[in-house]
Structure 1
């Protein structure tokens, strides 16, 4: 295992900073940029541009571990416009091959139909603010204001805004027709059936991020989050036996599925690591649990992060650990210092556990 950093369309300065922090592996999300996007729907990639971009990243002594595949609105479209969704699916399959042609071996994607739902910011240590979700306090207004939209962060929506959300196929829950449990699985199965064969042909791993957050039984605003439980993630993996069909295992998201994550997470981490189908980890912590939690610094949450490292190790996971969803603060508007803290903390845990390694680049 090793530290990696998830970056949104980084410039030269940002990659130089990561290198100075000791980061040699990155996960890049360029959704909404000219490199991978067009107006509306799924855009067609250019393998030469992707290859040139990968080489540019590598010029900073970096390895591009994972790249974001924007599935757009295909999940919702598959429920109301199957022919249009099939056209998008064919283009996504073609993009998987183009990624392989560009030397990219792993793609992550998200099955959110609506934004990553949050209801507010809670006071954190030293005046920082922690993004959270309290189902009992939910309102559409708070959802629109505090949720993660597109590639943005809560309270930083000017970075992405509604245009970015549209590019990522996300809508407000009340703007989406009801999505039953069956419809949710039908949409995900439709996507998997089209993408996994393309991934097998190209030799590319596909890392799926589970639904964030877990919704209550019966859903929220008529929307079911079918991958909002450990059982849902198990079912997702069972949709294909391909070793290229796997997870972006967001530790914080999975913790949100349990009322007592401190008690449940360690065996769950070991279980999923042992499948060999975790392709990347969002290494983050929460305080609270199912339907009532806040996202905190990695050292102050309810999950023992050192024991989490040991669980990944016992399960045989050897891939990247990426800090994610740190608190927000006026003193660190770009979250660079907070992410640097999380990176250093993660590296220290790896060294303490005796599993730190610097993989070949």
Structure 2
């Protein structure tokens, strides 16, 4: 295992900082990916290769890019022709990624934004993004959730984080739940099955591994605003993998924070999820983060300040033979570190220390 960073549309200076922090591998999210698209709107293999070589020029390995699923999942329910068009683009983008020298792409299963209901004060006055199902209102959703590459704090004081706003290109097709006509569990599973059928054969032919990010957060039974989050438990992740159980192209972007949010006992739950998903060899990358609280009532905190035993998690990854990247994710926000660079640096150093100790 090794430390890495997941960065949104980094500048040259940001990649230089990564190398100075001891990072050798990066996962980059360039959505809506216009810088690697050709005139037809699909990824251009030469541009993908050029972008990869630009990253390699800093002494870094480009581990993965973000495949933009857009509104495909919702469209399979409410706009089938548009879903069919997106499926064609996704297959073309996967082929271009392989031709451009990539071996892995990550993608998100969100149909609506990453739902949050507020912020809580953490140590030293940092603001931790929080979700409490009992506090859910449409107004709280609109004010505190985030979409696509947007994140609370985006666009502040030179931060290289996209401004967080539904309806922008950076929201990449994700919407607020209120704006949908609802998604039942049956509709959600049908949409996910269609996604796998649409993209997995192309990935298998191209030699690309696909890493799916589970639903964040796990919703209460019955969902919120009529939307169900079906990949919001270990069983949900297993069922998603079982849509193509023999395919080595079909795996999980194991967001440890998201998994922790699935249980009222997050630390043992995370270890059980690592055992079951990692035991299948289907953890393809890890968002190594922590939370305070648990199912339907949590906040996102520094890695050393939450309820998940991070050292025990490292041991669990080792036990199942995981050898890949560990990326910090979702650190708190502060006016003292608007781009969150110092906070991510702390998380990287903490993670590297755990690896050395293990």
**TM-score, normalising length: structure 1:** 0.94
1:281 to 286, 292, 295: 286
CA distance in structure 1 between the partners assigned to 2:41 and 2:67 by the alignment: 10
Q: In structure 2, what is the equivalent of residue 358 of structure 1?
A: none
Q: In structure 2, what is the equivalent of residue 266 of structure 1?
A: 271
Whether the 8 Å CA contact 1:146–1:155 is kept in 2: the answer is: no
Does structure 1 residue 24 correspond to structure 2 residue 24?
yes
Whether the 8 Å CA contact 1:118–1:147 is kept in 2: the answer is: yes
Q: In structure 1, what is the equivalent of residue 13 of structure 2?
A: 13
Post-superposition shift, 1:155? 4.0
CA distance in structure 2 between the partners assigned to 1:275 and 1:121 by the alignment: 36
Post-superposition shift, 1:184? 0.2
Instruction: Evaluate the alpha carbon distance shift between residue 323 and residue 82 of structure 1 in structure 2; reply closer, same or farther with a 3 A threshold.
Output: same
Aligned residue for 1:220, secondary structure, equals: coil
Instruction: Evaluate the alpha carbon distance shift between residue 43 and residue 119 of structure 1 in structure 2; reply closer, same or farther with a 3 A threshold.
Output: farther
CA distance in structure 2 between the partners assigned to 1:13 and 1:66 by the alignment: 20
Instruction: Evaluate the alpha carbon distance shift between residue 267 and residue 167 of structure 1 in structure 2; reply closer, same or farther with a 3 A threshold.
Output: closer
Q: In structure 1, what is the equivalent of residue 253 of structure 2?
A: 248
Q: In structure 2, what is the equivalent of residue 292 of structure 1?
A: 297
Q: In structure 2, what is the equivalent of residue 172 of structure 1?
A: 176
Aligned residue for 2:350, secondary structure, equals: helix
CA distance in structure 1 between the partners assigned to 2:37 and 2:219 by the alignment: 30
2:74 to 66, 73, 76: 76
CA distance in structure 2 between the partners assigned to 1:174 and 1:167 by the alignment: 16
Whether the 8 Å CA contact 2:167–2:175 is kept in 1: the answer is: no
Indicate the larger mover: 272-281 or 146-155.
146-155
CA distance in structure 1 between the partners assigned to 2:335 and 2:170 by the alignment: 27
CA distance in structure 1 between the partners assigned to 2:90 and 2:297 by the alignment: 36
Post-superposition shift, 1:221? 0.3
Q: In structure 1, what is the equivalent of residue 35 of structure 2?
A: 35
Aligned residue for 1:228, secondary structure, equals: coil
Aligned residue for 1:26, secondary structure, equals: strand
CA distance in structure 2 between the partners assigned to 1:165 and 1:136 by the alignment: 31
Instruction: Evaluate the alpha carbon distance shift between residue 117 and residue 322 of structure 1 in structure 2; reply closer, same or farther with a 3 A threshold.
Output: same
CA distance in structure 2 between the partners assigned to 1:58 and 1:329 by the alignment: 31
Post-superposition shift, 1:36? 4.2
Q: In structure 1, what is the equivalent of residue 59 of structure 2?
A: 61
Post-superposition shift, 1:46? 0.8
Q: In structure 2, what is the equivalent of residue 98 of structure 1?
A: 96
2:334 to 314, 326, 329: 329
Post-superposition shift, 1:262? 2.1
Does structure 1 residue 237 correspond to structure 2 residue 241?
yes
Q: In structure 1, what is the equivalent of residue 49 of structure 2?
A: 51
Q: In structure 2, what is the equivalent of residue 338 of structure 1?
A: 343
Post-superposition shift, 1:78? 0.9
Aligned residue for 1:162, secondary structure, equals: coil
1:257 to 256, 262, 277: 262
Aligned residue for 1:286, secondary structure, equals: strand
For residues 9-30 of structure 1, the C-alpha deviation after alignment (integer angstroms, 9 at most, x for no partner) is 1111000000000001000000
Unaligned runs of 5+ in 2: 156-161
Aligned residue for 2:194, secondary structure, equals: helix
Q: In structure 2, what is the equivalent of residue 348 of structure 1?
A: 353
Q: In structure 1, what is the equivalent of residue 141 of structure 2?
A: 143
Superposed CA RMSD in Å reads 1.6
5 Å-filtered alignment, 1:63-212, equals 63-156=61-154, 159-164=163-168, 167-212=171-216
Whether the 8 Å CA contact 1:173–1:221 is kept in 2: the answer is: yes
For residues 87-117 of structure 1, the C-alpha deviation after alignment (integer angstroms, 9 at most, x for no partner) is 2112101110100000011000001111000
Moved over 4 A (4+): 36-39
Aligned residue for 1:161, secondary structure, equals: coil
Post-superposition shift, 1:165? 5.7
Q: In structure 1, what is the equivalent of residue 159 of structure 2?
A: none
How many residue pairs get aligned? The number is 351
